[in-house]
Structure 1
Amino acid sequence: MEGHGRYSLINLAPEAKEASMVAGQREYTVRISRKETVAAALPMQEHWLPLSNLDLLLPPLDVGVFFCYTKPTPAANDTRPSTFSAVLKVLKASLAKALITYYPFAGELVTNSSGEPELLCNNRGVDFIEAHAEVDLAELDFHDADQGLEKLIPEKKHGVLTIQATEMTCGGMVLGCKFDHRVADAYSFNMFLVGWAEMAAAKPASVHPSFRRSLLDARRPLHVDPTIDHFFVPVSTLPPPQTEPLYNCVNRIYYIDAADVERLQVMAGSGRTKLEAFAAYLWKLVGRATPAQMGLVVDGRRRLGPVMDGYFGNVLSIPYAEMAVGAMTMEEVAAAVHGMVEEAASEGHFRGLVDWVEAMRPDMAVARVYAEEGLSVVVSSGRGFPVREVEFGWGKAVMGSYHFPWKGEAGYVMPMPSAKGNGDWLVYAHIAREVVDAIDAEAGNVLRRVSAEYLWLK
């Protein structure tokens, strides 16, 4: 038995726990009732904002985020919005104010003369969609995101950000957003979400974003670290994509009890973070029968100093490794994950990455883990996801999650805090169906299916 005490790798608890029943009782339709564009409340001078070298590592990918709210139940003499029309009014008015500060989201990405994307800050505005779903919030399938939630997250056709507010038949609401990853990473979008909610509540801003691209300027002369070649690869060197994908990825949402998160960390050994322990656990599960590649997203803000705390943009690196982990202990795999993170967790690595991109321009580059053949999974930390802070005046969300169903074959898994605030994790997973089958068969008492019962909706 691996790990410590009576806890094995797959069955963490002394006694198996039954997974919750999946919600998602029936098909439903979503009717769009109105589309409009919300611009910043104050006029601005049109200007260009270049993407940083770290932004240029991102291909044109859109990332989704959604929040679920139950029907507002104001008490007597309560002035909070209680109808969908009142909620929409608050959302749009506060969004117009938030876009004054977070003006890149109101712009457009265009291709410059060098063939690279660049942000035109012209206050085009954010497409805002009003919709109605013929289903109660409690009837949604919160586990199978492909079936239960996909319709509630908007398709982004123009601009940088699109928002959809959908009223449910029970009076609840799902707020879905989709933004261009080249403009912002999760840290940046979290800042925007909190700022938007603060505007709605007439609270002072807790964070002031910085758009100083000079913080990520390449050095002169360049200091190109050859080890970067192990983690990133120029797009021009990649073979053409296969016509038939090796793996069919699906989108699922799980939760992990706080106690199981703690047990994973104990099993991973002394000095390992909860995220490293989770990544090791997932790697063991994915690679139980075949060598598998594991990548871990590392945020460089803390490594580059306090001046980067409010930086808006992408500050990410993705170290990865491939190993046959099936026969390794949990502690051995966690040590490998820790070592992988340490390779990127320094100022030198991120400065070197900026210089490496500069040396490659105008050729685009991508994280190598996404381009390798074989089964790959990338774990990204959503520990800063502000699910309990995105409160616009009618109550906290009962659920919130990122949603990143990109077209590649590599898996993408993001644990984040549960809206319960009790230490549980929600885990969004864009993974191969084979991995879903393995989770269902071997890890269902750890990675449990999110349901309406879990969310207090039934």
Structure 2
Amino acid sequence: MGSCGTMFSVSVKKRDIIAAALPVQDHWLPMSNLDLLLPPLDIGVFFCYKNSLPLYESVNIVKKSLAEALATFYPLAGEVVQNSLGEPELLCNNRGVDFIHAYADMELKNIDLYHPDESVERKLVPLKKQGVLTVQVTELSCGGFVIGCTFDHRVADAYSINLFLTAWAEIAQSKPISTLPSFRRSMLNPRRPPVMKTVYNKLFLPLSSLPPPRSFCPTNPLVSRIYYMEAKDIIHLQSNLKRSKLVSFTAFLWKIIAECDQDGFVNTCKMGVVVDGRERLNNKLSFDKLTLSNTMPFSMQNYFGNVLSIPYGEANSNELKDMSLTLVADMVHEFVCHAMTEEHFRGLVDWVELHRPEPAVAKIYAKMDENDGEAVVVSSGQRFPVDGIDFGWGKPNFGSYHFPWGGQTGYVMPMPSTRDNGDWIVYMHLLQKHLDLVETKGVFKPLTSSYLNF
């Protein structure tokens, strides 16, 4: 697939605001302490379809089902505003979701998904200007179309977004919602009194600790690419390391990033992994059980919001180059395991509480000075419900997250392929030198329309 697949324009046919189908009484919904660890970043996601229905009918189904989904996921139709302490808070006022109906003179098979910065960013995934969520449906000249969404990360993590997307598609097919969301913030209340542990000072830091803006400038911007990784290569990597697929993948990537550092420079190389705390907290919820309804199922599997921590490891690049891949995988396993406990997440909630209203951020996202080494975060997208986002005309022919977040820390997310054969789709947002080296390893193959069978 050549670069010509990036050279197309998108014209807007109509703009709407889609509000919840049922009335929503205005109210405030506080952010949890874990939401407060997220800066104002937006996450993009998109799905490509070969359509079997008239386009106007498909767009109407998307809009109608969106309005119905917003009645249940009502915070997505609200706004994020500052409270009196200067902290973000959700105003659930049914402002509605900006909805863009667009057209691109491009066939699905010719879209260059390998270069999403040119073909997807602000073309198929919209820029969110207001509210919590923006949706764009883009008709293509071949009769197919793309549904792109942009969410405020402070309101939802990928798990929560997946809940919404699945429910939205279920509503479009007149099916009951399989997982109803819970917005009960008391699930993540701090303990009384909060327990201070200094271990979190190694993972997170107050924003006031960051260097002044523009004290140094990155020499190179990060670039997005989308690859596929064949199941045989994933299995081979895991079988050699005797670790989980994600830990094995992360270790392999960590060594690649370290290889890019020039010899003679004593640089550290950081690798982080996003850990979802829902399973750690699910059976031991610390809120007053007397307030629970007998009819309402309260479970962290239903919780809509951010339940994330980002543990990371740090090592000298030259030492990483000399280490066996097995030893690097052991290091990844070690730092991830420390975060995979209930106490880690309870302690993190307490740590934020003791620092409020001072905002904080994950340390791996912060470059303290120009001598800081490379840093990359891996976030597992294995729960990405690409097969479930069927609005009535079939599952997507392709789907991916898109997160060119604008910082200096790399971001990588492996997701299941729509081919249902164990392959992974891997979204990477890295420095060009990292991408160049990644492609020499033979296991990360540029995404093409022939692979996707468009």
TM-score normalised by structure 1 residue count: 0.91
State whether structure 2 residue 186 is matched by structure 1 residue 214: yes
What's the offset of the Cα at 1:267? Answer: 2.2
State whether structure 2 residue 82 is matched by structure 1 residue 87: no
Task: Using the TM superposition, name which of 210-219 and 236-245 deviates more.
Answer: 236-245
Task: Using the TM superposition, name which of 51-60 and 307-316 deviates more.
Answer: 307-316
Q: Which residue of 2 aligns with 1:435?
A: 434
Pick one of 115, 123, 134 that aligns with 2:105.
Answer: 134
Q: Which residue of 2 aligns with 1:67?
A: 47
What's the offset of the Cα at 1:305? Answer: 1.6
Q: Which residue of 2 aligns with 1:331?
A: 326
One-letter amino acid of the counterpart of residue 327, structure 1: D
* Distance change >3 Å, CA 230–CA 454, structure 1 → 2: same
Q: Which residue of 1 aligns with 2:29?
A: 49
What's the offset of the Cα at 1:429? Answer: 0.8
One-letter amino acid of the counterpart of residue 307, structure 2: V
Pick one of 53, 56, 71 that aligns with 1:100.
Answer: 71
Q: Which residue of 2 aligns with 1:10?
A: none
Are the aligned partners of 1:228 and 1:353 in contact in 2 as well (CA < 8 Å)? yes
CA displacement, residues 101-159 of structure 1 (integer Å, 9 cap, x when unaligned): 10010000000000000000011111100000011111111101111222111010110
CA displacement, residues 167-195 of structure 1 (integer Å, 9 cap, x when unaligned): 00001101100000000000000000000
State whether structure 2 residue 359 is matched by structure 1 residue 360: no
What's the offset of the Cα at 1:202? Answer: 0.6
Q: 3-state SS of the aligned residue for 1:253?
A: strand
Q: Which residue of 1 aligns with 2:10?
A: 30
Q: Which residue of 2 aligns with 1:302?
A: 279
One-letter amino acid of the counterpart of residue 46, structure 1: D
Are the aligned partners of 2:260 and 2:434 in contact in 1 as well (CA < 8 Å)? no
Matches within 5 A, 1:412-451: 412-440=411-439, 442-443=440-441, 445-451=442-448
What's the offset of the Cα at 1:26? Answer: 5.5
Pick one of 166, 169, 181 that aligns with 2:141.
Answer: 169
Count of matched residue pairs: 424
Are the aligned partners of 1:23 and 1:452 in contact in 2 as well (CA < 8 Å)? no
State whether structure 2 residue 233 is matched by structure 1 residue 234: no
CA displacement, residues 345-368 of structure 1 (integer Å, 9 cap, x when unaligned): 101010000000001111100000
Matches within 5 A, 1:9-408: 21=1, 24-25=4-5, 27-72=7-52, 82-150=53-121, 151-241=123-213, 242-268=215-241, 270=242, 272-290=243-261, 291-306=268-283, 307-323=299-315, 324=317, 325-372=320-367, 373-408=372-407
When the two chains are superposed, the root-mean-square deviation of aligned CA atoms in Å is 1.1
Distance in 2 separating the partners of 1:125 and 1:351: 34
Distance in 2 separating the partners of 1:90 and 1:25: 28
Are the aligned partners of 2:113 and 2:448 in contact in 1 as well (CA < 8 Å)? yes
Distance in 2 separating the partners of 1:385 and 1:64: 13
What's the offset of the Cα at 1:298? Answer: 0.3
- Structure 2 spans left out of the alignment, 5+ residues: 262-267, 284-298
Distance in 2 separating the partners of 1:218 and 1:188: 21
One-letter amino acid of the counterpart of residue 386, structure 2: V
One-letter amino acid of the counterpart of residue 314, structure 1: N
Are the aligned partners of 1:231 and 1:319 in contact in 2 as well (CA < 8 Å)? yes
Distance in 1 separating the partners of 2:431 and 2:2: 20
CA displacement, residues 366-416 of structure 1 (integer Å, 9 cap, x when unaligned): 000011322110000100000010000011101100000111010010001
One-letter amino acid of the counterpart of residue 105, structure 1: L
Distance in 1 separating the partners of 2:6 and 2:128: 26
Distance in 2 separating the partners of 1:172 and 1:243: 45
Are the aligned partners of 1:246 and 1:409 in contact in 2 as well (CA < 8 Å)? no
CA displacement, residues 38-80 of structure 1 (integer Å, 9 cap, x when unaligned): 01111011100000000000000000000000131xxxxxxxx
Distance in 1 separating the partners of 2:385 and 2:114: 20
Distance in 2 separating the partners of 1:93 and 1:155: 22
Distance in 1 separating the partners of 2:354 and 2:131: 29
One-letter amino acid of the counterpart of residue 353, structure 1: L
Distance in 1 separating the partners of 2:7 and 2:436: 23
One-letter amino acid of the counterpart of residue 447, structure 2: V
Percent identity, aligned pairs only? 53
One-letter amino acid of the counterpart of residue 239, structure 2: V
Q: 3-state SS of the aligned residue for 1:193?
A: helix
* Distance change >3 Å, CA 33–CA 243, structure 1 → 2: farther
* Distance change >3 Å, CA 140–CA 120, structure 1 → 2: same
What's the offset of the Cα at 1:246? Answer: 3.8
One-letter amino acid of the counterpart of residue 292, structure 1: C
* Distance change >3 Å, CA 177–CA 25, structure 1 → 2: closer
Q: Which runs of 4+ in 1 moved over 6 A?
A: none
Q: 3-state SS of the aligned residue for 2:146?
A: strand
What's the offset of the Cα at 1:23? Answer: 6.6
State whether structure 2 residue 429 is matched by structure 1 residue 452: no
One-letter amino acid of the counterpart of residue 306, structure 2: N
Q: Which residue of 2 aligns with 1:78?
A: none
* Distance change >3 Å, CA 38–CA 26, structure 1 → 2: closer
Are the aligned partners of 1:106 and 1:160 in contact in 2 as well (CA < 8 Å)? yes
Q: Which residue of 2 aligns with 1:8?
A: none
What's the offset of the Cα at 1:275? Answer: 0.5
* Distance change >3 Å, CA 90–CA 52, structure 1 → 2: same
One-letter amino acid of the counterpart of residue 324, structure 2: T
Distance in 1 separating the partners of 2:60 and 2:414: 32
One-letter amino acid of the counterpart of residue 253, structure 1: I
What's the offset of the Cα at 1:84? Answer: 1.1
Distance in 1 separating the partners of 2:377 and 2:64: 37
Distance in 1 separating the partners of 2:374 and 2:36: 25
Distance in 2 separating the partners of 1:119 and 1:243: 34
Distance in 2 separating the partners of 1:406 and 1:289: 22
Are the aligned partners of 2:228 and 2:424 in contact in 1 as well (CA < 8 Å)? yes
Are the aligned partners of 2:6 and 2:118 in contact in 1 as well (CA < 8 Å)? no
Are the aligned partners of 2:27 and 2:92 in contact in 1 as well (CA < 8 Å)? yes
TM-score normalised by structure 2 residue count: 0.92
* Distance change >3 Å, CA 396–CA 330, structure 1 → 2: same
Distance in 2 separating the partners of 1:315 and 1:174: 29
Are the aligned partners of 1:130 and 1:164 in contact in 2 as well (CA < 8 Å)? yes
What's the offset of the Cα at 1:422? Answer: 1.1
Distance in 2 separating the partners of 1:276 and 1:149: 29
Q: 3-state SS of the aligned residue for 1:394?
A: coil
